[in-house]
Amino acid sequence: MSEQADEQTGREAAAEALCEEKRKVLGVFTIAVVFLLIQLPYLVVTDADSSLFVVSVLNVVGSGAFVLLSGSVLWFCRQRAV
């Protein structure tokens, strides 16, 4: 039972540390959203056979991952505060 309690306190400590950095996570979220919005038009404008299209797809996927991850952290911290 003690091991489970230690695991729970470890998770709580990790959640607390993550939520303490909420302003930095918000900055990452904002930058990722802006970068994603800048990159989306390139998917329509560029030729699908060009290397620029491949780079744009990778940028959109990466930015989307950062948006989802940082948005999830912000949502988790907001739910935790309530």
Q: What is the pLDDT of residues 7-43, one digit of tens each?
A: 668 888 888 888 999 999 999 999 999 999 999 999 9
Does the pTM of the predicted model rise above 0.85?
no
Q: What are phi and psi of 46, to 5 degrees?
A: -80, 155
The dihedral of CA 65, 81, 13, 23: what is its sign?
positive
